[in-house]
Structure 1
Amino acid sequence: MTLPDIGYLELVVTCLPVILVAIIFYRWKANSKELIIATLRMIGQLIAIGFVLVYLFKETSSWLGLLVMTVMLVAAGWIAMRPLKDKSWHHIGQLALSLLIGCGSILAIIIVFVLDLSPWYQPRFVIPLAGMLLANTMNSLSLSGERFETEVSSGSDGEAARNKAFYTAMIPQINGLFAVGLVALPGMMTGQILSGVSPLVAVRYQIVIMIAILCSSAFSTAWYLLSRYKQSLALKS
């Protein structure tokens, strides 16, 4: 079974509801300009990365792969910092290091012990997996950072702020575990089923991805909040 082709006209039809979303944003005093920019940027980035991946999937250079993942890591740290007050280079370093520790450790486990890739760097596996982990963990860091700043500014002590921020960041991940298979079929699993893969095989892959996202988000968020907590203690002393 082959997937139906999606042409440019079909893409335009898909994007039409975004106009209604933009109207809701505008009428409800949300940032409609940000929505439009984000949508156009998403389309441009995906088209560009499509051409890049065609080239990368033909390459076997581990150095090129590490360079690509480094760019992804820094970009994820930068985007995670967007809703936070502290825009310093030190802060983006904290975020990037947290992403590296959480996502890097889980990605290594999947590559070495789960997929048993040989050679370890195979772009069509490593880059999509790294992207899924970074994107989800990036959101957890943004949520935890924003909640931590809110709690500290409202007078909560550092430890209580850290704990509440961690719980807030993990709510989407826990909700996802409750909902998967009952409310929603995740994107990776749906894509595999549409491409003709057995649902039972797709399920096993999706379990690996869900556990990986949960653990990378928890590890990265815990490391990040510990860094922010220690920083707040240092500022008080």
Structure 2
Amino acid sequence: MADVIPLHRLVFALVPVLIVLVLMFRWSLGVRSAMVGLARMILQLLLVGYLLGYVFTAETPWIVIAILTMMLFAASWIALRSVKRDRARNYPYAVASVLVGGGITLFMMTQGVLGLSPWFAPRVFIPLAGMTFSGCMNAVSLAAERYYVEVDRGELHNEARAHAMKAAFIPITNMLFAVGIVSIPGMMTGQVLAGVSPLIAARYQVMVMCMMFSSAGLAAAVFLWLIGRSEIRTANSAEA
């Protein structure tokens, strides 16, 4: 069983972070954004630690649904952070994409693979939802940014969509090739540190990798399909 990390030792994790921040400052790489992100990360993780402690003991389905809804809307908004144009118009498309891509895979993994009882078991459901929605968020973000870059270059929708889909798959494809050789992913690492058999941890990690791959692909595909239909409607309206 892994030991609890004392707070005074956790400070050492900030040493390499400070080195990177100094490099970013020296190279004029927007250190302010990184510092805000780091501060938010620490604050958000502390808050979610207290929140999940309550949720795990309450085991109320409506609380779990409320948390998932908040995660869905936040992930969809963050996904469009790098897209400066049409963000408000594309937001419903991002919500639908994360909901479809994340919802289908989350249901299959929690009910089909794990057979959770009760179905909303928060100690499992919420962490898996976080992994799924974050994967969808990254895929939609990459797809959206690349799609509009290609459109601005004069590419037609089908060509822009193909380039955007390839870009969305780069992170998860790299993870598939690297897992077990270059890296031992987070869930497997956490379980091994907690004393679970590596063979059992590997099964859970296979499930997670399948979940991440399928949710990212579905979310990117749905988003690109929706904005494609939107572009067609806009073009038809302009011609009329």
Q: Same fold (TM over 0.5)?
A: yes
Letter in 1 for 2:26: R
Alignment of 1:130-169 (within 5 A): 130-169=129-168
Please report the TM-score for the alignment, with normalisation by the length of structure 2. 0.96
Distance 2:73 2:209 in 1: 23
Q: CA deviation at 1:53?
A: 0.5
Q: CA deviation at 1:6?
A: 1.0
Q: Which residue of 1 aligns with 2:50?
A: 51
Q: Which residue of 1 aligns with 2:169?
A: 170
Q: Which residue of 1 aligns with 2:103?
A: 104
Gaps of 5+ in 1: none
- CA deviations 1:196-226 (Å, max 9, x no partner) are 0000000000000000000000001000001
Distance 1:94 1:208 in 2: 27
Say whether residues 1:122 and 2:121 are aligned partners.
Answer: yes
| Paired residue secondary structure (2:208) | helix
Distance 1:227 1:206 in 2: 31
Letter in 2 for 1:153: D
Say whether residues 1:20 and 2:51 are aligned partners.
Answer: no
Alignment of 1:181-196 (within 5 A): 181-196=180-195
Distance 2:13 2:83 in 1: 32
Distance 1:215 1:232 in 2: 26
Distance 2:159 2:87 in 1: 24
Say whether residues 1:36 and 2:43 are aligned partners.
Answer: no
> Contact 2:93 / 2:223 at 8 angstroms: preserved in 1?
yes
Distance 1:139 1:120 in 2: 27
> Contact 1:73 / 1:134 at 8 angstroms: preserved in 2?
yes
Size of the alignment, in residue pairs?
Answer: 236
- CA deviations 1:68-114 (Å, max 9, x no partner) are 00000001011111101235433211101100000001111112111
Distance 1:234 1:21 in 2: 46
Distance 2:88 2:154 in 1: 26
Distance 2:183 2:143 in 1: 25
> Contact 1:81 / 1:87 at 8 angstroms: preserved in 2?
no
Deviates more, 1:72-81 or 1:8-17: 8-17
Please report the TM-score for the alignment, with normalisation by the length of structure 1. 0.97
Deviates more, 1:79-88 or 1:116-125: 79-88
Q: CA deviation at 1:8?
A: 1.5
Say whether residues 1:219 and 2:218 are aligned partners.
Answer: yes
Letter in 2 for 1:100: L
Q: CA deviation at 1:125?
A: 0.5
Aligned sequence identity (%): 38
> Contact 1:148 / 1:161 at 8 angstroms: preserved in 2?
yes
Q: Which residue of 1 aligns with 2:196?
A: 197
Distance 2:202 2:87 in 1: 41
Deviates more, 1:49-58 or 1:28-37: 28-37
Distance 1:91 1:55 in 2: 34
C-alpha change, 1:46 and 1:87, in structure 2 (3 Å) is farther
| Paired residue secondary structure (2:58) | coil
